[in-house]
Amino acid sequence: MGGRLLINGRIWEGDTPAEWKDGILSLPLSVVAERLGARMQRTGCTDLVQVEKDGRELALSLGQQTAFVQGERVPAGGAIYVNKDMIMVPAALISRYFGLSWRYVEDINAVVLNRTEPALKDRLIALDAGHGGEETGAISGDLVESELNWDVVQRLACILTLSGAEVQYTRGYGETMSLPQRVNLVMEAEAELLVSIHHNSFLSAEINGTETYWYHSWSAHQLADCIQNHLLEELRTTNRGIREAAFFLLRHSFAVPVLIKVGFLTGSHDSTILADRWTREKAALGIFRGIREYIEGRTRQL
């Protein structure tokens, strides 16, 4: 059984998937190496492979169960083999060598891999699932806004934590929480950013698209801009722009806040794609990249 690969916030579109064999997850080495900017070469009698990244060297040979990191023998955690011309290496070895964390996301059959991002490490980000519990938000056909919001929040939390960030939720699943309660939670936790996830609705099915809201501060404007750009790149939805609005959560938060409306539950185009879990995973990827770009930009300025 194979699974798709999401590496450092991007989907890998190639056709060699991650593979489970005897309970061991293996990944195509060259894909991970390329994504992480490592050099890779096959040497000598072609059964030997060397990877170099930041002055650290990984050497391995096909068919073996061991590898060498900086010349020291380490267990590979499973067999090293070839599939469709790709060298497949146990995820445990790849994670250890590249400093990656990974999680298998079962409902989309994908492996999410992220390296610890220095800019994100130990930064506290509050995630707000707009609506929950007694308050469902918009409903259209089978789509319930609170459920979609929660789903995107969960996927985003997974990617952020794999990257070394810390996450503070404003509510648990199905929990009814007022806006002041949620704002207080963010404040007490001293989160740096607040990302609130919503979905939109309208009377006409012709209205589709993605919006990101900010209020008052230049920082929030920048964060909204980064997120909107990456969301559009990932979802390919209509760009309804970044907008300033005095929503309660945006007005009363001490963290840098944004409120995202991923798409229209009522839209003829958006409702079709939002029903697909992959769209929600892609939304999480786009938002993650937006947050990363914003924080990296801030770090460079300081």
Q: If DSSP states are collapsed to H, E and C, what string results for the chain?
A: CEEEEEECCEEECCCCCEEEECCEEEEEHHHHHHHCCCEEEEECCCCEEEEEECCEEEEEECCCCEEEECCEEEECCCCCEEECCEEEEEHHHHHHHHCEEEEEEHHHCEEEEEECCCCCCCCEEEEEECCECCECCCEECCEEHHHHHHHHHHHHHHHHHHCCCEEEECCCCCCCCCHHHHHHHHHHHCCCEEEEEEEECCCCCCCCCEEEEECCCHHHHHHHHHHHHHHHHHHCCCEEEEEECCCHHHHCCCCEEEEEEEEECCCHHHHHHHCCHHHHHHHHHHHHHHHHHHHHHHHHHC
In the complex, the smallest distance separating the C-beta of residue 169 from Zn ion, rounded to whole angstroms, is 16
Kindly state the smallest distance separating residue 274's Cβ from Zn ion, in Å. 13
155 or 198: CB nearest Zn ion: 198
Determine the residue with CB nearest Zn ion. Answer: 198
| Smallest distance, Zn ion to C-beta of residue 199, A | 6
- CB of 145 or CB of 192, closer to Zn ion: 145
Nearer to Zn ion, 3 or 137 (CB): 137
Footprint of Zn ion on this chain (CB under 5 A)? 130, 137, 198
Closer CB to Zn ion, residue 137 or residue 290? Answer: 137
Residue 210 CB, nearest approach to Zn ion (Å): 14
For the bound state, the minimum distance from the C-beta of residue 247 to Zn ion, rounded and expressed in Å, comes to 10
Q: Is 163 or 196 the residue whose CB approaches Zn ion more closely?
A: 196
